[in-house]
Amino acid sequence: MAADLEEKTDRYGELLTEALSEATVAPPEGTPMADAAAECYEMADSYLADGTHFREQGDLVNALASFSYGHAWLDAGARVGLFDVPTDGHLFTV
């Protein structure tokens, strides 16, 4: 079971890292929606940093939770039009 948790944690960390590299802010710069996108991106990036810290400490449960929350911020932002993201593949549900 620990091996499954370790694999899943690593997979979700990679997923979040890749999703962050693919998401770009969709609304025009200087608009409230662009500000909201920047805040969502910052939250996702912060959860990646938190998850990486937890992973390095061997805390797989909190690492996985952090990576999952981070990806949720990006995926929700993509669904409401804050981010331009790839629509094919495994990164986003849009």
User: Does 94 reside within a domain?
Assistant: no
Task: State pLDDT tens for residues 38-87.
Answer: 999 999 999 999 999 999 999 999 999 999 999 999 999 999 999 999 98
The predicted pLDDT at position 89 comes to 83
**Average confidence (pLDDT) over 15-40:** 96
- Contact, 47 vs 70, CB < 8 A? yes
In a domain, 92, yes or no: no
Please determine, for residue 1, whether its predicted confidence score (pLDDT) is greater than 70.
no
- Per-residue pLDDT, averaged over 30-34, amounts to 97
Evaluate whether residue 23 is within a structural domain.
yes
CA 83 – CA 31 distance, rounded (Å)? 14
Which CATH number fits the domain that encloses residue 54? Answer: 1.20.1270.90
Kindly indicate the confidence band of residue 8, based on its pLDDT and cuts at 50, 70 and 90.
very high
Exposed/middle/buried for residue 77 (C-beta within 10 Å: 0-12, 13-18, 19+): buried
Closest CA to 21 of 65, 79, 85, 82: 85
pLDDT value, residue 88 = 86
Residue 89 lies in a domain: no
- In this structure, is residue 59 part of a structural domain? yes
For residues 71 and 17, give the distance between their C-alpha atoms in angstroms, rounded to a whole number.
9
Count of domains for the chain? 1
Residue 12 domain boundaries: 2-84
Residue 28 confidence (pLDDT) above 90: yes
pLDDT score for 2: 67
Is residue 31 assigned to a domain? Answer: yes
Kindly report the number of other CB atoms within 10 A of residue 88's CB atom: 6
